[in-house]
Structure 1
Amino acid sequence: MAVGAVLAAGAGTRFGMPKILAEQGLWLHRAVDALRVGGCDEVLVAMGAAIVEPPAGATAIVVADWAVGLSASVRAVLDSPPVGHDPAGVVLHVVDMPDVGEAVIARIVATAARDPGRIVRAVYGGRPGHPVYLGRDHFAGVRARLDGDVGAAPYLRAHAGIVESVECGDLASGLDRDEP
């Protein structure tokens, strides 16, 4: 089983509003649909600065300490009850990459093969981005390195030799939208 998670708890300061609200929630719906159609068995939405009704088929996770930064969202996902049921892995996606669709997710999930020992990361023209598949065997290590406004990146850097990069630049730009 692979759980998909949309990281959307931030305030979107540079964007001018929480990105979970962008385009009247269209970005959120796209991200949830991409995870669901792309092969995730369950989809979570980490939210905090703005609390919304999650799209159909998704479960909300309210990140009480969202202001700490991205680490709080990743921790909330990894500590959530659905992840506590020992899925093979979690696909971390972000709400502010609206052109990343189900084809990218499907490529990452297919490469990961729901293997608890793998880490698979989308790259765009060689540039690392999201989504990232974290196999269950890496959850504790990622948790141990979470801090502030940084997610799994320190763990991925420390384990660069086992991170599988999957080129997805033919499917999406991989650019996050930080400004309106």
Structure 2
Amino acid sequence: MTSPLRWTGILLAAGRGRRFDASGQQDKLLQTLADGKSVAQHSAHNLLAVMPHMVAVTRPDNAVLSDQLQAMGIVCLVCHDADAGMANSLKCALRATADSEGWLIALADMPMVKPSTITQLCDALQAGAEIVVPVLNGQRGNPVGFARKYLPQLLDLQGDVGARSLLKSDLVTQVMVDDPGIHQDIDTPDALVDYLAAMARAEA
């Protein structure tokens, strides 16, 4: 008996984050937030809250991050050629989950995305949308989603542009959300400081 197809969440966590620290000494994904959890753990938690079937892609030299995510019950896939571009990390996850109905692709340096946004995107996919992107104030953000029919095109991607070429398609469904987090990543030390300040204000 064939198992039913299911939707899969993909957390891309294999980047080196050179803008955060050009020396590579500090990994932005491992930066500890006020609750003691890392940036990547927060991003993973938000995706996992909506998509219990998910995988994360990490680098072979980042065992600490893999251990953190595996402790959350997340399957970690090590991408040995991740440094050649984001497309390689994405394809690593897609090959491992090729039996999925489709995928929601999230970035591990975006811990501010609301689970409600992820739910809206998943609902749109399940309602028949083929490609989905969240939009706030006319500007697209992340995460993005693809139906199974796009697997061949996704596996043909190259370099560090990810799935941007496919997102130019006329078949993209824009999902309007009330979530500034779709535009906010922890890409620099200043961005981390701003995020910590925002968390402190929210808890005050």
Q: TM-score range by the shorter chain?
A: 0.7 to 0.9
Q: Report what 1:44 is aligned to.
A: 55
> What pairs with 1:73-152 in structure 2 (closer than 5 Å)?
73-80=89-96, 83-84=97-98, 86-113=99-126, 115=128, 118-144=130-156, 146-152=157-163
Size of the alignment, in residue pairs? 171
Tell me which amino acid in the other structure corresponds to 1:172: P
Query: How far apart are the structure 1 equivalents of 2:166 and 2:37?
Result: 31
Correspondent of 2:180 among 153, 172, 175: 172
1:9 aligns with 2:14: yes
How many angstroms apart in 2 are the aligned matches of 1:100 and 1:92? Answer: 12
Cα distance, 1:2 vs. partner?
A: 1.1
Cα distance in 2 for partners of 1:2, 1:41 equals 9
Residue 25 of structure 1, CA deviation: 5.0
Instruction: Give the unaligned 5+ runs of structure 1.
Output: none
Matched residue, 2:74:
58
Structure (1/2) with the larger strand percentage: 1
Q: Please report the RMSD computed on the Cα atoms of aligned residues, expressed in angstroms.
A: 1.8
Q: Aligned equivalents of 1:45 and 1:114: distance in 2?
A: 25
Equivalent position of 2:199 in the other structure: none
Note the C-alpha offset of 1:18. 3.0
The share of aligned pairs that are identical, in percent, is 26
Indicate conservation of the 8 Å contact 2:46/2:111, yes or no: no
Regions of 4+ moved over 4 Å:
none
Question: Is the contact between residue 19 and residue 95 of structure 1 (CA under 8 Å) also seen in structure 2?
Answer: no
5+ unaligned residues in a row in structure 2: which ranges? 1-5, 190-204
Q: Distance in 2 between matches of 1:87 and 1:35?
A: 16
